[in-house]
């Protein structure tokens, strides 16, 4: 692929390990790695295996990273990175005869670094419920378990300042994830202070895996924040109308909601983050995508926003991806703090034109 980073050389004892981005001609050898750990064939769901044209390569929506051991591709991982904030790590595979060299750790780190370099805020992956070796690897790199069913979804927060600030201020915080009562595919991720009643709670929407997500990528549509034993607190949410099979030319109604649950006035900015091909069509008086807000204690403020999918938006690209949805985000600033919420818009996904 064009723009591939320089290879990185690591030595483990007498063994030389070379980490690099895979090239198209590597694909037969990376498939061999998958077959060596039990794959029967490249799965149909991963449609990035066919040769991609130059435009696709330039966009780098999917990238494969490999580890060569003494010149032989011994491990691989995929990074699917369509639009921020979420990117996905897929199919970490290590040849049985090349294990215990730390290749899984190195490749996962490399995927995280590449996602962060591209501006993604959060990584996710899916793993088997009983794969304890994988669980130890990911927990050791500060991934957290979230939704679970037949599979387990784990998240890694690469750039999420509100969470970083909370954990730094509450080093004895305890994490837990629980399903939202009476809501399908919705989970509360909570970091709770050990001594005080301070907490940070994020709502995650989406299933535990690709198969049970109905083609919709994960989203973080809500946040509850409480510090100073109730002195400051905000409940934030990004709501969207329940629509499916969105197409170019459609409009989607959304609403940003902030409720001040603290004891002082809070004020800041809502900043929309939209991918190319989507734009704010209402309110028409604000084309900068930024909205000022202020909320007194116990006050709720609402900012309606209408998003237009431009007629030129190319939904056909979604056909190649694991999830046929497009993320829309809002970054929320208030005194000394910053967080990000997101929603996933499910598109009608036409097959590529032949």
Which residues neighbour 272 within 8 Å (Cβ) at sequence distance 6 or greater?
Answer: 280, 289, 290, 305, 328, 329, 330
Domain 8-120 and domain 159-346, same fold? Reply is: no
Cα gap 190→188, rounded to integer Å: 6
Length of the chain counted residue by residue:
354
Cα gap 4→58, rounded to integer Å: 10
- Strands, E, within the chain: which ranges? 8-12, 15-21, 62-69, 72-80, 86-94, 122-128, 144-148, 151-157, 174-179, 186-192, 199-205, 219-227, 232-240, 251-260, 266-273, 278-282, 290-295, 300-309, 325-334, 337-346
Task: Find where tokens 């966009």 sit.
Answer: 59
Cα gap 125→92, rounded to integer Å: 10
Question: What residues does 225 pair with on adjacent strands?
Answer: 200, 234
Phi-psi region of 289 (alpha: psi -120 to 50; beta: other; left: phi over 0): left
Question: What residues does 20 pair with on adjacent strands?
Answer: 66
Cα gap 165→172, rounded to integer Å: 13
Cα gap 157→178, rounded to integer Å: 18
C-alpha distances (whole Å) from 152 to each of 46, 79, 132, 196 are 19, 18, 12, 30
65, 69, 75, 80 alpha-carbon torsion, rounded to 10°? 0
Sequence spans of domains, the chain? 8-120, 159-346
The class (CATH top level) of 8-120 is alpha beta
C-alpha distances (whole Å) from 259 to each of 154, 224, 301 are 29, 9, 6
Q: What is the pLDDT along the chain (354 residues), one digit of tens a residue?
A: 344 445 687 776 667 788 888 777 777 777 777 766 665 554 444 444 445 555 655 566 888 899 888 888 888 999 999 999 999 999 898 888 888 888 999 999 999 999 999 999 999 999 999 999 999 999 999 999 999 999 999 999 999 999 999 999 999 999 999 999 999 999 999 999 988 999 999 999 999 998 899 889 999 999 999 999 999 999 999 999 999 999 999 999 999 999 999 999 999 999 999 999 999 988 865 556 789 999 999 999 999 999 999 999 988 888 888 899 999 999 999 998 999 999 999 999 887 665
Within its chain, how far is the Cα of 194 from the centroid? 28
Token code pair at residue 206: 């989406």
- Domain boundaries 159-346, corresponding CATH code: 2.60.40.10
Token code pair at residue 43: 């799965």
């Amino acid at each position: 692929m064009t723009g591939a980073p320089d290879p990185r050389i690591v030595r483990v004892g007498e063994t030389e390990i070379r980490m690099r981005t895979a090239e198209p001609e590597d694909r037969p050898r990376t498939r061999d790695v998958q077959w060596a750990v039990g794959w029967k064939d490249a799965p149909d769901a991963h449609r990035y295996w066919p040769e991609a044209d130059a435009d696709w390569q330039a966009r780098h929506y999917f990238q494969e990273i490999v580890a060569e051991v003494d010149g032989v591709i011994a491990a691989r991982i995929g990074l699917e990175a369509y639009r921020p904030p979420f990117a996905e790590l897929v199919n970490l595979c290590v040849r049985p005869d090349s294990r215990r060299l730390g290749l899984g750790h190195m490749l996962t780190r490399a995927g995280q670094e590449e996602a962060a370099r591209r501006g993604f805020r959060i990584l996710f992956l899916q793993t088997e419920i009983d794969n304890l070796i994988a669980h130890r690897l990911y927990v050791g790199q500060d991934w957290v378990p979230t939704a679970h069913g037949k599979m387990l979804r784990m998240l890694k927060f690469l750039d999420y300042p509100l969470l970083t600030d909370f954990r730094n201020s509450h080093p004895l915080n305890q994490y837990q994830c629980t399903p939202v009562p009476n809501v399908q595919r919705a989970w509360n991720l909570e970091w709770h202070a050990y001594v005080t009643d301070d907490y940070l709670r994020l709502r995650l929407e989406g299933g535990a895996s690709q198969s049970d997500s109905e083609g919709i990528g994960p989203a973080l549509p809500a946040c509850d924040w409480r510090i100073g034993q109730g002195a400051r607190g905000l409940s934030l949410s990004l709501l969207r109308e329940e629509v499916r099979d969105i197409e170019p030319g459609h409009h989607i109604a959304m609403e940003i909601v902030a409720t001040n649950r603290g004891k002082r006035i809070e004020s800041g900015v809502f900043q929309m983050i939209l991918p190319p091909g989507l734009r704010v069509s209402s309110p028409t008086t604000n084309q900068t995508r930024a909205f000022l807000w202020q909320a007194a204690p116990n006050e709720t403020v609402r900012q309606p926003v209408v998003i237009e999918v431009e007629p030129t938006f190319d939904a056909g690209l979604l056909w190649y991806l694991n999830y046929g949805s497009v993320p829309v985000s809002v970054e929320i600033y208030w005194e000394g703090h910053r967080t990000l919420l997101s929603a996933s818009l499910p598109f009608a996904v036409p097959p590529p034109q032949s």
